[in-house]
Every structure is written in C-alpha cells, then in structure tokens.
Amino acid sequence: MKQIVILASGSGSNAENIISFFKEKGSAEVSAVFTNKKTAGVLERCDRLKTAAFYFNRTAFSDSDGFVKLLKGLNPDLIVLAGFLWKIPTSLLKAFPNTIINIHPSLLPKYGGKGMYGAKVHQAVRENLESETGITIHYVNENYDEGAIIFQAKTRVEPSDDADSIAKKVHELEYEHFPRVIEKLLLKDGK
Ligand code: GAR
C-alpha cells in the first residue's frame, strides 16, 4: 500500500481530513504524522484517529542525516506538509525528490513567502480587497512557497467577508481537494 507521511505544525484539521479520507478509501495510508510543536492540536487528533504521531525539535530536524534516515525507514511515497511552518532543509529535498508537497492557503504566487501563513494570508487578502482567493498545492523546493504548482482552486471573496470567513472558505477548498490531489499523485507512474 502507498505510504503517506504528514508534517504539521498546528491544529491539524487537514491532516485529520487526509487520514480519514484514506482510511475510508483504503488506497493509501498515513503511516505517521510528525510535528515540530509539542502543543499542536494535530497530536490529539492523531491519538483519536489511532495514527502514530511524533514530536521533533529543531536539533532533530536540522540533523538532517538522522531525520532523513528516520523518514527513509518509513518508505513514504509522498511527504505532505499540512500547515507545516519550518523550511525544509536541502538534504531532505535531495533525499526525497518530487516527493514533498505543500498546501498554501492562497493563489500563489500571491501572498506566499516567509511569514505568510494561516490567518496572516487571509488578513492580507482582505486588506487588499481581493475579489478572489483560494488554495495552491505545490512541490516543495528550497524557497518558501515557490515550488512547481500542482493544483489551484479559487473561491470568491465578498465585500462582507472578514479574515475568519475567508479562512473558512479556504479550509473548505482544502478539505475538498487536498486528499484527492494526493490520491492522484500516488496513482501516477513512478510514485
Ligand atoms: C491551512 O490552511 C494551510 O493551508 C496553512 O495552514 C493551515 C493549517 O490548518 N498552511 C500555510 O499557511 C503554509 N504556509 P490545519 O492545521 O487546520 O490543517
């Protein structure tokens, strides 16, 4: 069976959605979730879903040899960043070419880059009076939010929307599309 590893830093609602999707489908499984935050909500979600989850600190992550070996041992077909906020070290990118993907809550290249995550993205979209926003799923490279785009989906921003309601619309797009895009990538030749 195809193996997915998820890296997440926060609440983990996307991680939960992906885990549940593949539990139901049976076409792949999330073998483990890793987080860089001890208090991340994703840990509690994984406990509830009976999915293995691990915390790692900055030292473990930047000792890339160790981390690469750990991940290699899990033999992942895809490494999925679902709200993961640390930059991926070059050694990890080299060890897993075309294997690490990220979801970003805007229509990249708009509202990407260092410091642009979660609510900050939606506030900027609101402040700039954008009429649409959306999600971008992309391969990860050495720069924040700059890897090749795999998929985008849009939603309208109404004048009455605030950052919270924009976040809700964007999350809905994420829940709808992210697991399906992952499934498609896993079905592709060579994955
Ligand atoms: C998601 O909206 C994801 O797109 C975003 O963080 C949120 C995590 O929510 N990622 C970024 O902003 C990355 N730059 P979740 O923890 O509930 O899945």
* Continuous segment of H or E residues that includes residue 152: strand 149-156
Write down the pTM of the prediction. Answer: 0.96
User: What CA–CA distance (Å, rounded) separates 138 from 184?
Assistant: 13
Active-site residues: which are they? Answer: 104
The reply to whether ligand 1 has any atom less than 6 angstroms from the CB of 82 is: yes
CA angle 38, 42, 47 (to 5 degrees): 95
The reply to whether ligand 1 has any atom less than 6 angstroms from the CB of 134 is: no
Residues across the chain: 191
Q: Are 133 and 155 spatial neighbours (Cβ–Cβ below 8 Å)? A: yes
Which residue's CA lies nearest to atom 3 of ligand 1? 83
Does 190 score more than 70 pLDDT?
no
Task: Count CB-CB contacts under 10 A for residue 145.
Answer: 21
Which CATH superfamily groups domain 2-107+136-154+175-190?
Formyl transferase, N-terminal domain (3.40.50.170)
Residue 30's DSSP bridge partners are 4
More confident residue, 65 or 74: 74
Closest CA to 130 of 98, 166, 97: 166
pLDDT digit string, tens, across residues 131-159: 999 999 999 999 989 999 999 999 999 99
β-pairing verdict for 2-8 and 78-81:
parallel
In a mutational test of the pocket of ligand 1, which residue from 11, 103, 146, 177 has the highest number of ligand atoms less than 8 Å from its CB?
103
Q: Is 17 among the annotated ligand-binding positions?
A: no
Q: Is 57 among the annotated ligand-binding positions?
A: no
Give the residue-averaged pLDDT of 61-67.
84
Residue 134's DSSP bridge partners are 154
Query: What is residue 63's predicted lDDT score, i.e. its pLDDT?
Result: 73
pLDDT digit string, tens, across residues 21-56: 999 999 999 999 999 999 999 999 999 999 999 999
Q: Where are the domains of the chain?
A: 2-107+136-154+175-190
Q: Report the separation in Å between the CA atom of 105 and the middle of ligand 1, taken as the mean of its atom positions.
A: 7
